[in-house]
Amino acid sequence: MTGPQRLIQRFIDQELSGEERIDLLTRIGRDQALREQLIDLEHLLVKVDRLARPAVPEGFVAGVIDRTAPEPKTFVVRRATEVLWMPRVFRWNFAGAMVAAGIALLAVAGVTTRVLPGLPIDRPGAMTPPAPATTAVLIRLVVLQPGARTVEVAGDFNGWDPTRTPLEQLSGGAWTVTLPLVPGRYEYMFVVDGKEWIADPFALEQSDDGFGSRNAVLDVRPPIESSL
């Protein structure tokens, strides 16, 4: 690049000082080729300045936003979520209901013996077995009796009174009650509609009641903290 050409380029870029501008104007007044070069460049930049800017296509911004949306869950995760949160209606038969009740009872007993110690106990009457520990645990009994109007529980812990400990009805024919019991061994039966006595058929243990029926046996163990 020659000196005059450098001046032209700097003129185009508007970088010339006042003296340099005078120098350039003097040169192009004497040099026709230099003058035409400058005019060509100015023509070029005028045309470039008038070039239309490409239009932003319709939907361009929305397209970008769509593409930056959070990644959808994979099929497996989405399907698992649907399965877990899908509302269901359970249809129970007696055997299935008893299995569920037994599992629920065991699960609740297992959990409550570890996490709910220390609650006061309403001590049973004369038939209350001796309790080796003074702390009580909450035991939740569950039974499925879809057609029942009332369900109560009678056992060692309430003097076998069939009216003293009613169960609360849940949806799906389930009935439940939560009892604070000190660790020990208890026998009990459910009383349906005030007249039908049934044992919990899936209790871990049953015993002969001496009258031709069998009672369910509940073995309440002390909380872990108490046993340490």
Partner 1 sequence: MAPGEAADDAALVRASQQGDREAFGTLVSRHASSIIGVTTRMLGPTPDAEDVAQETFVAAYKALSQFQFDAKFSTWLYRIALNKCTDVLRARRGETISLDVTDDDGETRWEPADHETPHCTLEQDELACELDRNIRALPPLYRESFVLRHVEGLTYDEMSAILGVHRNTLKMRVYKARNLLCQSLAHLDGVNRWKTTKLR
Q: Contact positions toward partner 1, by CB under 8 A?
A: 1, 9, 12-13, 37, 39-57, 60-61, 63-65, 67-69
Measured CA to CA, the distance from residue 134 to residue 22 in angstroms comes to: 108
Tokens matching residue 9 = 């380029």
* Shorter beta-carbon distance to partner 1: residue 50 or 88: 50
* Shorter beta-carbon distance to partner 1: residue 18 or 59: 59
Provide the minimum distance between the beta carbon of 47 and partner 1 in the complex, in angstroms, as a whole number: 5
* Shorter beta-carbon distance to partner 1: residue 52 or 228: 52
Provide the minimum distance between the beta carbon of 68 and partner 1 in the complex, in angstroms, as a whole number: 4
Tokens matching residue 139 = 């035991």
Provide the minimum distance between the beta carbon of 76 and partner 1 in the complex, in angstroms, as a whole number: 24
Residues 199 and 216 sit within 8 Å (Cβ to Cβ) = yes
Provide the minimum distance between the beta carbon of 32 and partner 1 in the complex, in angstroms, as a whole number: 15
* Shorter beta-carbon distance to partner 1: residue 5 or 213: 5
Nearest to 224 by CA among 136, 113, 140: 113
Between the CA atoms of 126, 132, 133 and 138, what dihedral angle is there, to the nearest 10 degrees? -60
Q: How many CB atoms are closer than 10 A to CB 99?
A: 15
Residue with tokens 């010339």: 16
Provide the minimum distance between the beta carbon of 78 and partner 1 in the complex, in angstroms, as a whole number: 21
* Shorter beta-carbon distance to partner 1: residue 68 or 171: 68
φ, ψ dihedrals at 208, nearest 5°: -75, 130
Residue with tokens 């399907």: 79
